[in-house]
Amino acid sequence: MILNTIENLVRPVFPFTAIVGQEEMKLALILNVIDPSIGGVMIMGDRGTGKSTTIRAIADLLPEIEVVADDPFNSHPFNIELMSEEIKQAVENKIVLPTKYIKVPMVDLPLGATEDRLCGTIDIEKALKDGVKTFEPGLLAKANRGILYVDEVNLLDDHLVDLLLDSAASGWNTVEREGISIRHPSRFVLVGSGNPEEGELRPQLLDRFGMHAEIRTVKDPALRVKIVEQRSQFDKSPQQYISQSIPQQDELKQHIINAQINLPTTQIDYDLKVKISQVCAELDVDGLRGDIVTNRAAKAFAAYNNRDHVSQEDIRKTITLCLRHRLRKDPLESIDSGDKVNKVFQEVFG
C-alpha cells in the first residue's frame, strides 16, 4: 500500500521512445547526452510542439549515476573534475566516502529566478543562529552532472543567461559572498527552449549554445491523430503506457551507454576536419566555436551508430544543427539558414 502511494507521488514522464516526429530535437538531445562538451542545445519552435515533454523524457531515460552520499553537488566518487573541494580533500586524505546511485538530475530554471537562487548564497538563518557562515547551494549545484532546462530562455534576464553560459562553458560556479569564496563543479547539459515569436536571443548568447534545433507543428493529419491518441492513452493510464515502452527505452539507454564508452576512441580524419573548417569559413561564421562543436557532434553521432571513424554522412547529419544559429542575419536573404548550411556543405564536400 505504501509503495503504491509513493509511486503515485512521482510524476509520470512520457517515454522518450514513444515521442513521434521532431527527430532533429531528439537527435540534438541524444548527442549532448553522449558528449556534454558539445555545449547544450537551443530548441526554438511553435507552441505546443512537445519541447518540454521531450526534454523531461530524455532525462528520465538516462542511466543512474553514482554520487557521494549527502553531497549537495552530486560529486563524482572518483573523477576529481566532478568533485567539490570538500570531497576532493577527503579523497586526498584517503577517507572512504559512502556512495549511492541517483537519477540524472533534471533542474528547471524558472523565469523569475534570482541570481542567489541560481548560483547559491549564504545561509542567513544558520549565520544568525549558530554564528557560522554556511553556503546554501543554488540550482547550478543541483544541476551538476545533469540537465539544466530553461523554458522560454529568450525571456530570461540577460545577466542570468550570462551566468548560465559561463558556468556551462567552464564547468565551474564561483560564488563570492560576505567574505566567503565558494567554487564548485557545475557540469551540465544546458537546454533552452523558446518561441521565436516572443523574441530572439542576442547573437553572442545564441552562439554559446552548441546546437540549435528548429521544430515546427506537425502538418500531416494522420500523424497528428497518432500523437493525440498516444497522449490520451498516457494520460488515461501512465504506468501501463510506460511499462509497454520499457523494451524500447532499455534498448536506447544501452545504445547511449555504448556510445559514451566508444566516444573517446572515435576518430575524425584530418581532411574531414579541413572541410568542416572550410564550410565554417565560407559561411563567414565568427570564431572557431562552430568548427569545434561540429567536430564533437560528428564524433558523437559516429559513436552513437557504433562506428570508430567519422564519415561524411555523420557530418551531414549534424552540421546544420551546429551552424545554423551562428550565421550572420541578413534581412534581405530569402534562403533559410539551415538550407544555406546544407548548400555550402554540398559545395565543399561534393
Residues designated catalytic: 289
- Half-sphere exposure at residue 103, Cβ-oriented, CA atoms within 13 angstroms: 10
**What is the helix (H) or strand (E) element at residue 56, kind and residue range?**
helix 51-61
Closest CA to 173 of 164, 181, 183: 183
**Contact by Cβ (8 Å): 325, 212:** yes
Name the DSSP letter for residue 30: H
Q: Which residues contact 52 (CB under 8 A, 6 or more apart)?
A: 149, 151, 193
Q: Distance between CA 85 and CA 101 in Å, rounded? A: 21
Task: Answer for the pair 69, 102: CB distance below 8 angstroms, yes or no.
Answer: no
User: Please, which residues bridge with residue 194 across strands?
Assistant: 44
How far is 191 from 178, CA to CA, in rounded Å? 32
Q: How far is the C-alpha of 40 from the C-alpha of 150, rounded, in Å?
A: 11
Q: Which residue has the cell 580524419?
A: 269
Is there a contact between 24 and 43 (Cβ–Cβ < 8 Å)?
A: no
For residue 338, count other CB atoms closer than 10 A to its CB: 18
Sort residue 287 into left (φ over 0), alpha (ψ -120 to 50) or beta. left
Check residue 319 and report its DSSP letter: H
3-state DSSP call for residue 137? strand
Question: Which amino acid does the sequence have at 37?
Answer: S
